[in-house]
Amino acid sequence: MNDTYAPTHGTNTAVINESDTVVIPVVEETLSVGKRIVEGGGVRIVKSVITEEATVEEPTVHEAATVDRIAINRLLGPGEELPKSRREGDTLIIPIFEEVVITEKRMRITEELHILLTRTETVTPQTTTIRREQVRIEPLSPTNDLLSTQA
């Protein structure tokens, strides 16, 4: 038996001798590359509103006026100017006039109004609702953890 090897170019057959033909399979591996999106984790943001009661003490102002009528009954001298309204401390004084007929006509002050202004300040506690938002961030574990599947 004459064993000769005669390879043929471009085929996967080889001739061992002239009567026997042997088929040798030729295998080739191919590489297919692709990509896909894998969720690697994330975060959840939770926002909530917190309400709480707060007491506020804010001073308020209240003014009151009392009027005292003071009798004067004084005649003004000839050429004397009329008194003007004036302030003495917390008291506002407003003169009240009346014309009277005398042999001569003159102004007479009949009364003055003394107005005392008093100011009181009171603190009234008031309760109100104050809202405040709070944010909490929670990490999410990945659903497809590729590293955990490899051993």
Q: Residue 82: which domain range?
A: 48-135
Measured CA to CA, the distance from residue 115 to residue 103 in angstroms comes to: 34
Secondary structure (3-state) at 146: helix
Number of domains in the chain: 1
> Which residue would you say has higher pLDDT here, 149 or 136?
136
Position 11 scores a pLDDT of: 52
Looking at residue 142, its pLDDT comes to 65
Tell me what the mean pLDDT of segment 24-43 comes to.
84
On whether residue 25 sits in a domain, the answer given is: no
- Bridge partners of 46? 136
Q: How far apart are CA 9 and CA 21, in angstroms?
A: 15
User: Does some domain include residue 13?
Assistant: no
pTM: 0.36
Q: Give a yes or no: residue 150 inside a domain.
A: no
Q: Examine residue 55 and state whether it is found in any structural domain, yes or no.
A: yes
Going through the chain in order, the beta strands assigned E by DSSP cover: 6-7, 13-15, 21-23, 42-75, 86-88, 91-100, 106-140
